[in-house]
């Protein structure tokens, strides 16, 4: 299960009479590109008002791990503040934080023991970006269902690992692109968050979620993500995901 | 007078109808008694229109309520107490009425060690071994902000406080915590306090006063009545009248939606004393008539009694009601309600004396009363001599009196006023002791709050704003080391973030760089709950930030603890507020709010109300006596004893350092209302005697002899009644009783010393002219 991938990548295919697991395998195997560099606008409803964050986001994925480098472009007070995430499939995430204006000029490691904790103050959690394999869940195709303009498979996934943050996940997968366009996340059988896609487009032949939102159903808070620019499969240098790039100015 | 006697005739001719009317009234009004509410929350004394109340109301949704239950665990930093605290914290957090618990097991900690920069639980688990305690202690020592909030470094105590959801009553708050502590079987070193607990204790003491003092005053009154009249009727009939007056006033409170509070709790005892004096007046006259006209029938005795006493009781009741009703001019609602309800009770007491007692006598007989009593004849020569002595030396008496008056006047500026909830209790009461310990661990319980409003989003999360606030905190602690030990501001959290991110305790300070602060706040929000964690110090969009702190209790030389005058604290707060305002300038708006300002304003209203109510009472009583005495000169003279009583009252308050507060402020207007009774009796009697006798000397002698007994008896009855207040659980009510006794006794002394002297001087000159 790769929720990060769910947000940005697309694989197009037509499937008939699939099981829940088969649907999710198709989601996992769709073309998501090897890496990307993007400019993303994140709109948070924070402290009672809307706040806009412009982020430059680099990401690369391999069979073993996914890496992200996220740098703040705006607001001005957060310029050059960054986050480096290493998400190996086999172990816990490693996260380093760099505050451009702090006295300490080296990156600071953030303990990632709370995977359910907010990601950049948004309604997304670190766990939502973790690399999980399809086999980590038991999937069940519930029904074919319409969500917005998309004809979808509705799949229920229950984690095999009891300690997983969510007790179950309901996913509406577009039958055409195999991009999840709606995901409902449950804790103790109670829906806590909902991810929905507003705009889906093909970029460099890859189905990409251009606009989406994550809603905290309990706190009634929303985070919206909009991709301003995205480039897939660029040549990324060795040190793209290094401390020197984390601390460098944009 | 004919009309008055006609009223009385109705009681004599149709007593059953009188019983019926009184019964119906008592039942109809008494039906409301079960709905009578008891309120101890001191905020009810505050006018809802008051700007301080409005500010507090406006700030509570932003920064939370300040009505916390505070618990201090003395020397509680050990495994056993910590484990119990963990259990208590968990249970409280599961309680539906609890909004927030702040203890070592619930607050968040900004991790600054090898774990990295992130918000975690300060103590996720209860310690099981000494090493766990050491780890916890190390974490607590990381940031100074914990000291005085959730532990006390100096006393090695653990502390916690509980905030409750809106709509939870103070009793529910108190019992939720106390009940849980009992269940967990914690030791006596777990001290519980805070305003909900203090107010609940006030309620308990109010119950105690009602349960113990009211029956006690009934017993004292019964004994007094028995020794006065020596007949069962002389005891039972007044008690029925007293009961009626109490039911009428308390029932009326319920019907008009007034709650029983610390002040109105005194009403039953007051009414017992007042109603007794009316009954004494009526029965004394009845028994005298009975003795003087043994051949007359019971009906004739009653008619003759009515003729002689009806008008006097009506006038004295009217003046007493006037005195109480004068409190309506007070700006303090509680005092207004007290004045109104007591006036209703006085009306009930007078009605009982004038209608119910005659009807009871008509049906059951009045007994013989004064059997073999020759006290009148014993007293007569004594009173006669006393009167003559005064009449021979009126100038001397006046000169001495004036000297006393000037001495008393000299003292008035030294009367102080204060408003302190803790001041309600005796120094060694359990609640004061617990509060002292809680206060010592928390650095005080009297909160102050200073808010900086930047007028724009994120405007208060700036370096110079936070530094200005931080400087104020430091100045407060260095300039007032006795008074201010704990302060918390938003700057403390920012300092904590600086230290945590940079990993150096030397960087526990506010940066000069606004962007650095913004970055700390941003990162904090990723792992912490900004709204919850900063709730007490900043609003959600950092437009407003707050400096909050507590004033400590002061240890007196005699080992007791007290608060300084509320004005002292408010002066400090206002000084800081204006200093911050001038430092930050426009567009910043700096203001303070909270209990201190509310209480200071209430106190100011009490003092203002005192002046209003004295002026109103004097005016009302003057007009009433003018109607009865039909002489402006005599009406003015009737005020001499009461004004003397008020002066005495204030002089003793100054000497004995009794503060003017919600209870003691009631005394003056009451003293006018009750105290004028003696002078009205005296002057009415004097006026009649002057018309019938050959001169002033004889008239005064006759007045002294005939009214002396009634004055002494009613004064004794009132003193006996008010003396019960000295046993009250509340200090102010004790003072209230003492000052009332003082006022009544001094009014009586003025009536028998100064009034005859003044009359002697005036009428002798008139005679010469």
The enclosing domain of A208 has a CATH number of: 2.50.20.10
Residue B433 contacts A where some CB pair is shorter than 8 Å: no
Residue B111 contacts A where some CB pair is shorter than 8 Å: yes
CA distance B584 to chain A (A): 22
Q: Do A81 and B526 touch (CB under 8 A)?
A: no
pLDDT number for residue A4: 43
Q: Do B525 and A76 touch (CB under 8 A)?
A: no
pLDDT number for residue B181: 92
Q: Pick the closest to residue B323 from B38, B745, B743 (CA basis).
A: B743
Mean pLDDT of B477-503: 89
In terms of phi and psi (left: phi > 0; alpha: psi -120 to 50; beta: otherwise), the region of B596 is: alpha
* Residues B606/B662, Cβ–Cβ less than 8 Å: yes
Dihedral sign (CA B288, B292, B294, B297): negative
Residue B113 contacts A where some CB pair is shorter than 8 Å: no
* Residues B423/B202, Cβ–Cβ less than 8 Å: no
Confidence band, pLDDT 50/70/90 cuts, at residue B3: low
Integer-rounded Cα radius of gyration of chain A = 18
pLDDT number for residue B428: 77
Q: Do B520 and A99 touch (CB under 8 A)?
A: yes
Q: Over the stretch B598-645, which tens digit does the pLDDT of each residue have?
A: 888 888 888 888 888 888 888 888 888 888 888 888 888 888 888 899
Query: For B502, which of A100, A103, A111 is closest by C-beta distance?
Result: A103
Dihedral sign (CA B221, B222, B226, B227): negative
Q: How many residues does chain A have?
A: 250
- On the question of pLDDT at B710 being above 80, the answer is no
* Residues B556/B422, Cβ–Cβ less than 8 Å: no
Query: For B501, which of A78, A99, A114 is closest by C-beta distance?
Result: A99
Q: Do B515 and A119 touch (CB under 8 A)?
A: no
Reported ipTM exceeds the 0.90 cut: no
Q: Do A110 and B522 touch (CB under 8 A)?
A: no
B729 CB-near residues (< 8 Å, 6+ apart) = B205, B208, B209, B425, B426, B429
Q: How many CA atoms lie within 13 A of B124 on its CB side?
A: 4
Take residue B139 and report the two structure tokens written for it. Answer: 């974490």
Query: For A111, which of B118, B513, B514 is closest by C-beta distance?
Result: B118
- On the question of pLDDT at B342 being above 60, the answer is yes
B477 CB-near residues (< 8 Å, 6+ apart) = B484, B485, B487
Full residue range of the structural domain in which residue A73 is found: 3-247
Domain boundaries, chain B: 2-43+200-414+601-768, 68-193, 428-593
A vs B: CB pairs below 8 A: 83
CA distance B504 to chain A (A): 10
Mean pLDDT of B209-230: 84
Give B531 or A222, the one with higher predicted confidence. Answer: A222
- On the question of pLDDT at B559 being above 80, the answer is no
* Residues A10/A208, Cβ–Cβ less than 8 Å: yes
Residue A97 contacts B where some CB pair is shorter than 8 Å: yes
Q: Testing the interface with B: which of A121, A126, A218, A247 to mutate, by most B Cβ within 10 A? A: A121
Question: How far from B27 is each of B260, B276, B410, B542, CA to CA, in Å?
Answer: 20, 22, 51, 59
pLDDT number for residue B652: 92
pLDDT number for residue B40: 63
Mean pLDDT of B274-283: 84
* Residues B454/B208, Cβ–Cβ less than 8 Å: no
Mean pLDDT of B675-702: 81
Measured between beta carbons, the chain A residues lying within 8 angstroms of B538 are none
CA distance B116 to chain A (A): 5
- On the question of pLDDT at B390 being above 90, the answer is no
Residue B130 contacts A where some CB pair is shorter than 8 Å: no
Query: For A78, which of B118, B498, B519 is closest by C-beta distance?
Result: B519
* Residues B514/B463, Cβ–Cβ less than 8 Å: yes
Take residue B526 and report the two structure tokens written for it. Answer: 């990723």
Q: Do A121 and B522 touch (CB under 8 A)?
A: yes
Q: Do A77 and B515 touch (CB under 8 A)?
A: yes
Query: For B116, which of A99, A111, A117 is closest by C-beta distance?
Result: A111
Residue A218 contacts B where some CB pair is shorter than 8 Å: no
Residue B518 contacts A where some CB pair is shorter than 8 Å: yes
Give B387 or B655, the one with higher predicted confidence. Answer: B655
Q: Over the stretch A161-196, which tens digit does the pLDDT of each residue have?
A: 888 889 999 999 999 999 999 999 999 889 999 999
Nearest-angstrom CA–CA distance, A143 and B748 = 96
pLDDT number for residue B6: 65
Query: For A120, which of B526, B531, B542 is closest by C-beta distance?
Result: B526
* Residues B157/B73, Cβ–Cβ less than 8 Å: yes
Percentages helix, strand, coil for chain A (3-state, rounded to 5) are 15, 50, 35
B586 CB-near residues (< 8 Å, 6+ apart) = none
Take residue B75 and report the two structure tokens written for it. Answer: 């020397």
Mean of pLDDT over chain B = 84
* Residues B317/B278, Cβ–Cβ less than 8 Å: yes
Nearest-angstrom CA–CA distance, A4 and A119 = 12
Confidence band, pLDDT 50/70/90 cuts, at residue B50: confident
Confidence band, pLDDT 50/70/90 cuts, at residue B406: very high
Mean pLDDT of B517-532: 85
A213 CB-near residues (< 8 Å, 6+ apart) = A195, A196, A198, A222, A223, A224, A225
pLDDT number for residue A10: 35
Q: Do A76 and B515 touch (CB under 8 A)?
A: yes
Q: Testing the interface with A: which of B113, B504, B523 to mutate, by most A Cβ within 10 A? A: B523
Confidence band, pLDDT 50/70/90 cuts, at residue B490: very high
Dihedral of the alpha carbons of B381, B382, B386, B391, in degrees to the nearest 10: 0
pLDDT number for residue B516: 92
Q: Over the stretch B97-153, which tens digit does the pLDDT of each residue have?
A: 998 899 999 988 887 655 557 788 889 899 999 899 898 888 888 888 888 888 888
Q: Do B541 and A103 touch (CB under 8 A)?
A: no
Q: Testing the interface with B: which of A110, A125, A129 to mutate, by most B Cβ within 10 A? A: A110
Residue A77 contacts B where some CB pair is shorter than 8 Å: yes
Confidence band, pLDDT 50/70/90 cuts, at residue B333: confident
pLDDT number for residue B468: 94
Interface of B with A in 549-588 (CB under 8 A): none
Measured between beta carbons, the chain A residues lying within 8 angstroms of B522 are 77-78, 81, 121
Confidence band, pLDDT 50/70/90 cuts, at residue B86: very high
Q: Pick the closest to residue B524 from B560, B498, B545 (CA basis).
A: B498
Residue of B nearest to A117 (CA): B527
CA distance B115 to chain A (A): 6
CA distance A48 to chain B (A): 7
Residue A81 contacts B where some CB pair is shorter than 8 Å: yes
Q: What DSSP string runs through B461-486? A: SSHHHHHHHHHHHHHHHHH-TTTEEE
pLDDT number for residue B768: 40
Residue of A nearest to B508 (CA): A103
For chain A, which ranges sit under pLDDT 70? 1-16, 46-48, 111-116, 131
Measured between beta carbons, the chain A residues lying within 8 angstroms of B513 are 101
Q: What percent of chain B has pLDDT over 90?
A: 24
B226: number of Cβ within 10 Å? 13
Instruction: Return phi, psi of residue B438, to 5°.
Output: -65, -45
Confidence band, pLDDT 50/70/90 cuts, at residue B560: low
pLDDT number for residue A18: 85
Q: What percent of chain B has pLDDT over 70?
A: 93
pLDDT number for residue A113: 57
CA distance B529 to chain A (A): 9
Take residue A69 and report the two structure tokens written for it. Answer: 């480098």
How many domains does chain A contain in total?
A: 1
Query: For B501, which of A49, A75, A102 is closest by C-beta distance?
Result: A102
For A21, the enclosing helix (H) or strand (E) is helix A20-29
Measured between beta carbons, the chain A residues lying within 8 angstroms of B516 are 99, 101-103
Q: Do B518 and A78 touch (CB under 8 A)?
A: yes
Q: Do A49 and B541 touch (CB under 8 A)?
A: yes
Residue B501 contacts A where some CB pair is shorter than 8 Å: yes
Question: How far from B536 is each of A67, B70, B148, B298, B523, CA to CA, in Å?
Answer: 39, 16, 15, 75, 20
Q: Do A110 and B527 touch (CB under 8 A)?
A: yes
Residue B463 contacts A where some CB pair is shorter than 8 Å: no
CA distance B332 to chain A (A): 39
Confidence band, pLDDT 50/70/90 cuts, at residue B345: very high
Take residue B344 and report the two structure tokens written for it. Answer: 């209703």
CATH number for the domain running over B2-43+200-414+601-768: 1.20.1640.10
Nearest-angstrom CA–CA distance, B386 and B405 = 22
Q: Over the stretch B417-438, which tens digit does the pLDDT of each residue have?
A: 777 767 778 777 888 888 888 8
Residue A76 contacts B where some CB pair is shorter than 8 Å: yes
Nearest-angstrom CA–CA distance, B87 and B182 = 12
Task: Pick the range with the lowest mean pLDDT from B86-100, B451-465, B632-646.
Answer: B632-646
pLDDT number for residue B555: 67
Q: Which of B305-319, B568-582, B720-734 has the highest mean pLDDT?
A: B568-582
Measured between beta carbons, the chain B residues lying within 8 angstroms of A103 are 498, 502, 507, 511, 516
Helices H / strands E in chain B, number of each: 26, 13
């Amino acid at each position: 299960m790769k929720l990060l991938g769910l947000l940005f990548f697309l694989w197009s295919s037509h499937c008939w009479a699939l099981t829940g697991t088969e649907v999710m395998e198709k989601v996992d195997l769709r073309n998501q590109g090897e890496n990307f560099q993007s400019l993303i606008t994140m709109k948070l409803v924070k402290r009672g008002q809307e706040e806009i964050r412009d982020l430059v986001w680099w990401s690369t994925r391999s069979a073993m791990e996914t890496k992200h480098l996220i740098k703040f472009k705006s607001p001005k007070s957060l310029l050059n503040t960054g986050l480096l995430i290493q998400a190996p499939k086999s172990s816990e995430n490693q996260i380093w934080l760099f505050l451009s204006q702090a006295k300490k000029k080296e990156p600071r490691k953030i303990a990632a023991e709370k995977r359910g904790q907010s990601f950049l103050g948004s309604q997304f959690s670190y766990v939502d970006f973790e690399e999980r394999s399809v086999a980590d869940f038991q999937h069940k195709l519930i029904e074919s269902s319409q969500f917005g303009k998309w004809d979808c498979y509705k799949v229920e996934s229950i984690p095999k690992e009891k300690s997983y943050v969510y007790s179950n996940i309901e996913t509406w997968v577009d039958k055409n692109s195999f991009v999840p366009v709606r995901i409902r996340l449950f804790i103790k059988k109670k829906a806590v968050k909902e991810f929905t896609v507003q705009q889906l487009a093909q970029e460099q032949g890859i189905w990409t979620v251009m606009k989406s939102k994550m809603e905290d159903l309990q706190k009634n808070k929303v985070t919206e993500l909009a991709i301003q620019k995205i480039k897939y499969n660029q040549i990324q240098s060795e040190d793209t995901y290094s401390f020197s790039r984390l601390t460098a100015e944009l | 007078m004919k009309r008055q006697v006609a009223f009385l005739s109705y009681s004599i001719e149709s007593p059953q109808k009188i019983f019926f009317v009184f019964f119906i009234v008592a039942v109809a009004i008494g039906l409301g008694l079960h709905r009578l509410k008891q309120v101890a929350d001191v905020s009810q004394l505050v006018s809802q229109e008051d700007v301080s109340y409005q500010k507090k109301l406006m700030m509570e949704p932003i920064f939370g309520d300040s009505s916390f239950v505070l618990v201090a665990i003395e020397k509680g930093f050990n495994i056993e107490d910590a484990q119990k605290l963990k259990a208590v914290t968990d249970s409280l957090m599961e309680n539906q009425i609890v909004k927030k618990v702040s203890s070592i097991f619930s607050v968040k900690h900004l991790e600054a060690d090898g774990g990295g920069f992130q918000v975690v639980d300060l103590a996720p688990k209860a310690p099981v071994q000494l090493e766990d305690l050491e780890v916890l202690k190390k974490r607590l020592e990381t940031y100074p902000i914990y000291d005085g909030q959730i532990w006390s470094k100096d006393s090695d105590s653990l502390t916690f406080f509980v905030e409750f959801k809106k709509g939870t009553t103070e009793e529910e708050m108190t019992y939720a915590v106390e009940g849980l502590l009992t269940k967990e079987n914690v030791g006596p070193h777990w001290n519980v306090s805070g305003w909900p607990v203090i107010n609940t204790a006030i309620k308990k003491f109010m119950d105690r006063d009602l349960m113990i003092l009211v029956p006690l005053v009934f017993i004292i009154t019964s004994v007094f009545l028995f020794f006065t009249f020596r007949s069962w009727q002389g005891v039972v009939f007044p008690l029925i009248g007293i009961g009626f007056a109490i039911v009428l006033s308390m029932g009326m409170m319920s019907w008009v939606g007034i709650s029983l509070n610390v002040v109105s709790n005194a009403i039953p005892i007051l009414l017992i004393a007042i109603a007794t004096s009316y009954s004494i007046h009526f029965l004394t006259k009845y028994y005298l008539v009975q003795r003087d006209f043994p051949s007359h029938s019971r009906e004739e005795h009653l008619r003759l009694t009515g003729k002689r006493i009806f008008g006097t009781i009506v006038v004295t009741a009217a003046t007493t009601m006037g005195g109480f009703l004068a409190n309506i001019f007070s700006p303090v609602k509680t005092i207004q309600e007290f004045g109104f309800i007591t006036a209703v009770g006085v009306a009930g007491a007078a009605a009982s004396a004038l209608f119910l007692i005659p009807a009871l006598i008509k049906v059951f007989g009045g007994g013989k009363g004064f059997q073999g009593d020759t006290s009148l004849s014993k007293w007569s020569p004594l009173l006669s001599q006393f009167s003559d002595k005064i009449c021979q030396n009126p100038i001397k008496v006046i000169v001495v009196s004036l000297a006393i008056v000037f001495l008393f006047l000299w003292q008035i500026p030294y009367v102080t006023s204060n408003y302190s909830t803790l001041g309600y209790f005796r120094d060694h009461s359990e609640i004061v002791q617990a509060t002292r310990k809680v206060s010592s661990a928390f650095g005080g319980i009297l909160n102050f709050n200073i808010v900086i409003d930047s007028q724009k989003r994120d405007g208060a999360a700036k370096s110079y704003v936070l530094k200005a606030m931080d400087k104020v905190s430091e100045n407060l602690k260095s300039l007032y080391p006795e008074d201010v030990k704990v302060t918390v501001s938003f700057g403390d959290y920012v300092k904590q973030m600086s230290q945590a991110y940079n990993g150096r305790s030397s960087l526990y300070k506010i940066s000069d760089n606004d962007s650095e602060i913004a970055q700390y706040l941003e990162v904090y929000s990723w792992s912490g709950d900004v709204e919850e964690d900063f709730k007490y110090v900043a609003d959600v969009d950092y437009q407003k930030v707050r400096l909050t702190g507590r004033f400590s209790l002061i240890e007196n030389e005699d080992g007791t603890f007290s608060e300084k005058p509320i004005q002292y604290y408010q002066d400090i707060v206002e000084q800081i507020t204006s200093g911050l305002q001038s430092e930050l300038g426009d567009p910043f708006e700096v203001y303070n709010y909270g209990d201190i300002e509310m209480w200071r304003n209430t106190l100011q209203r009490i003092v203002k109300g005192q002046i209003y109510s004295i002026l109103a009472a004097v005016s009302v009583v003057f007009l009433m006596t003018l109607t009865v005495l039909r002489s402006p000169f005599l009406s003015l003279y009737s005020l001499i004893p009461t004004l003397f009583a008020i002066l005495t009252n204030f002089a003793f308050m100054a000497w004995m350092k009794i503060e003017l507060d919600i209870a003691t402020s009631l005394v003056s207007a009451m003293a006018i209302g009750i105290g004028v009774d003696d002078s009205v009796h005296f002057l009415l009697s004097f006026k009649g005697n002057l018309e019938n006798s050959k001169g002033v000397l004889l008239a005064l002698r006759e007045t002294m002899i005939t009214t002396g007994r009634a004055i002494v008896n009613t004064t004794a009855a009132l003193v006996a009644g008010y003396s019960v207040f000295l046993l009250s659980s509340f200090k102010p009510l004790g003072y209230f009783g003492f000052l009332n006794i003082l006022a009544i006794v001094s009014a009586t002394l003025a009536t028998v010393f100064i009034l005859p002297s003044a009359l002697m001087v005036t009428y002798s000159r008139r005679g010469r002219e």
